Structure 1
Amino acid sequence: MESLRQQKVNKLLAKELAEIFRSESRSLFGGGFITVTTVRVSPDLSSAKVYLSIMANKDKTLVFKLIESQTNVIRKKLGLIVGKQLRIVPELMFYIDDSLDYAMKIEELLNK
């Protein structure tokens, strides 16, 4: 069960990371459409699991590798934004959220 503080930090990080991905998508990630679906921060707020959905791009793994290689840059930009609200900017771990693809596949199978 997440504490109220964790829930607030999750929302804050999701909002600010989404803005970073929106504004920096062209320069850092080759113009892919990246959305932050979920953020889960650890109880001590030192690490965060960020689940991303990558759309409108042929090679999702390439875009994901670009994101992983830019983790330090993303964390620094995040720190500049939330530095006054959080004492420690959490370490970011990115994961691909394929639940939308899975839902579309199930929908397609049900319509056959």
Structure 2
Amino acid sequence: MDTTRQNKVSRLLQKDLGEIFQLESRNLFGGKLISVTTVRISPDLGLAKVYLSIFPTDKSEDTLKAIKMNTKNLRRILGNRVGKQLRIVPELAFFVDDSLDYIENIDNLLS
């Protein structure tokens, strides 16, 4: 059960992280298309689980490793953006969101 504050903070983080990935993906990740699908934040607002959709999907694990290596840098950039709205910038944990691949697989099986 997420509170209203958790929902607001997760939407804020999703929007700002999406913009960061849009601006920085060319420099940091070789121009891969990375979109933030979901952000789930803990009740104490200390940890944010960020689910990413990465295209092309064949290199998603390598891209996820690169993102995890740059987590500190991404958190710093995020802190500069949301520093006035949040007292504590949450720790970021990144995961691959493979729900689109799952849906595509089901569609292929049905047709």
TM beyond 0.5: yes
Task: Provide the identity percentage.
Answer: 57
The answer as to whether partners of 2:39 and 2:49 remain within 8 angstroms in 1 is yes
Alignment match, 2:102: 102
What's the Cα RMSD here?
0.8
TM-score computed with the length of structure 1 as normaliser = 0.97
Q: Give runs of aligned pairs for residues 14-53 of structure 1, distance below 5 A.
A: 14-53=14-53
Deviation at 1:47, TM superposition (A): 0.6
Name the SS for the 1:59 alignment partner.
helix
Query: Contact 1:33 / 1:57 at 8 angstroms: preserved in 2?
Result: no
8 Å CA contact 1:50–1:94 kept in 2: the answer is yes
CA deviation after TM superposition for structure 1 residue 31, in Å: 0.9
> Any unmatched runs of 5+ in structure 1?
none
Q: TM-score, normalised by structure 2?
A: 0.97
CA shift digits 1:15-59 (9 cap, x unpaired): 000000000001011111001000001000001000001013541
Report the count of equivalent residues: 111
Runs in 1 of length 4+ with deviation above 6 angstroms?
none
Contact 1:11 1:39 in 2 (8 A): yes
Partner Cα distance (1:5, 1:76) in 2: 22
